[in-house]
Amino acid sequence: MPASPEKNLVTGGAGFVGSHLVDRLIKSGEKVICLDNFFTGSKENIEHWIGHPSFQLINHDVTEPIKLDVDRIWHLACPASPIHYQFNPIKTAKTSFLGTYNMLGLARRVGARILFASTSEVYGNPEIHPQPENYNGNVNPIGIRSCYDEGKRVAESLCYDYMRMHGLEIRIARIFNTYGPRMLLNDGRLISNLLVQSIHGKELTIYGNGNQTRSFCFIDDLIDGLTLLMNSSNIGPMNLGNPEELSILQVANLIRNSSIKKLNLKFSKELEDDPLRRKPSIDLAQKELNWKPKMMFNKGLEITREYFQNKLDLEKINN
């Protein structure tokens, strides 16, 4: 008898990362329940699966408990872009704490393995560079990013306590900045802002002097990492990100140089508590999962630009 397909729950499955994960799981022959409250997610991201026998969509908020029969939980529900998670910071903290508590409770009840999508933001404004998993971070506990950063930190702590107290099978991924198709046009993050501005021939917005750095991972590479981690015996926390570090100015110049339009830069005040640099150490993921990102940044940018261009063209036709 062939083994029956895994039953997966993907919370935040209609969002950017979640919808790519749903694609990957269904294409691998698994069953997926996609759960989302559509705060930043969209039906468009998963509509190609509606009606498919392996796919089920549930409109639900993770801050409320739910009973489902599943083997694996991929807990991604939480807004990721600063403008979205700062829109209602109390709700963001509730989503991180209560949402994770509810999903851990569900995992415990049905004996499911649970992977929690944590973030490089747990390192805050890092004093150690690049950031290894054993660095405990430098987070402002009362700043405007803390609803997200501290929310993720307490959620990691909950995962570990469920493992220690109840023997739950947990996996924790610390995801670094990820980009690619299905980011929202109005997401407010660097890559979406700059690409959309470049398509419109507008000035590229730089917050602060642009010397702050980030490391950008293409979505397909991240999905490879997440699925490998879920299937591995390593609990994590494990960094998943691209170790190629770029300043914001370098990103802006790459986008400028690849555009046929003449683009100027527009500098404005730096954001509060904006981390100055960020680069993952991926030694652990390389050793344990034999994983490292493959996509070149130039190529990933081109694919993402094409996605935004098509989306804007469609919007024009529909208006």
Rule CB under 6 A: say whether 41 interacts with ligand NAD.
yes
Give whichever of 57 and 240 is closer to ligand UDP, judged by the CB atom. 240
* Exposure b/e, 194-227, CB count within 10 A at least 16 = b: bbbbbbeeeebebeeebebbbbbbbbbbbbbbbb
What's the CA gap between 36 and 34, in Å, rounded?
7
Centre a 10 Å sphere on the Cβ of residue 162 and count the other Cβ atoms it contains.
Answer: 21
Q: Choose among 222, 269, 4: nearest CA to 118.
A: 222
Which residue from 102, 212, 215, 239 is in contact with ligand UDP, where contact means CB under 6 A?
Answer: 212
CB of 187 to ligand NAD, least distance (A): 8
Give the angle subtended at the CA of 28 by the CAs of 25 and 30, to the nearest 5°: 60
* Exposure b/e, 25-48, CB count within 10 A at least 16 = b: bbeeebbbbbbbbebbbeeebbee
Which residue from 42, 89, 143, 207 is in contact with ligand UDP, where contact means CB under 6 A?
Answer: 207
CB of 3 to ligand NAD, least distance (A): 29
Give whichever of 158 and 263 is closer to ligand NAD, judged by the CB atom. 158
Binding partner at 22 among ligand UDP, ligand NAD, none, C-beta below 5 to 8 Å by kind? none
Rule CB under 6 A: say whether 308 interacts with ligand NAD.
no
Rule CB under 6 A: say whether 15 interacts with ligand NAD.
yes
Q: Choose among 48, 135, 61: nearest CA to 92.
A: 61
Tell me which residues in 101-130 interact with ligand NAD (CB under 6 A): 117, 119
Binding partner at 82 among ligand NAD, ligand UDP, none, C-beta below 5 to 8 Å by kind? ligand UDP
Which residue from 12, 236, 280, 293 is in contact with ligand NAD, where contact means CB under 6 A?
Answer: 12
Which residue from 56, 140, 205, 232 is in contact with ligand UDP, where contact means CB under 6 A?
Answer: 205
Q: Choose among 107, 113, 105, 117: nearest CA to 78.
A: 117
Binding partner at 17 among ligand UDP, ligand NAD, none, C-beta below 5 to 8 Å by kind? ligand NAD
* Secondary structure (3-state) at 102: helix
Rule CB under 6 A: say whether 131 interacts with ligand UDP.
no
Is 148 labeled as catalytic in the residue annotation?
yes
- With contact defined as beta carbons under 8 Å apart, do 37 and 77 qualify? yes
Gyration radius (Cα) of the chain, Å: 19
Binding partner at 274 among ligand NAD, ligand UDP, none, C-beta below 5 to 8 Å by kind? ligand UDP
Q: Choose among 233, 103, 118: nearest CA to 169.
A: 233
Rule CB under 6 A: say whether 190 interacts with ligand UDP.
yes
Q: H/E element holding 238?
A: strand 238-240
Residue with tokens 């339009």: 261
Binding partner at 271 among ligand UDP, ligand NAD, none, C-beta below 5 to 8 Å by kind? ligand UDP
Residue among 85, 123, 148, 179 flagged as catalytic: 148
Binding partner at 307 among ligand UDP, ligand NAD, none, C-beta below 5 to 8 Å by kind? none
Q: Give the CA count within 13 Å in the CB-facing half-sphere of 228.
A: 19
Tell me which residues in 158-217 interact with ligand NAD (CB under 6 A): 175, 177-178
Rule CB under 6 A: say whether 92 interacts with ligand UDP.
no
Rule CB under 6 A: say whether 282 interacts with ligand NAD.
no
The encoded tokens of residue 239 equal 């960094």
**Residues near ligand NAD (CB under 6 A):** 11-12, 14-18, 36-41, 61-63, 76-80, 84, 95, 99, 117, 119, 175, 177-178
Q: Which positions are catalytic?
A: 148
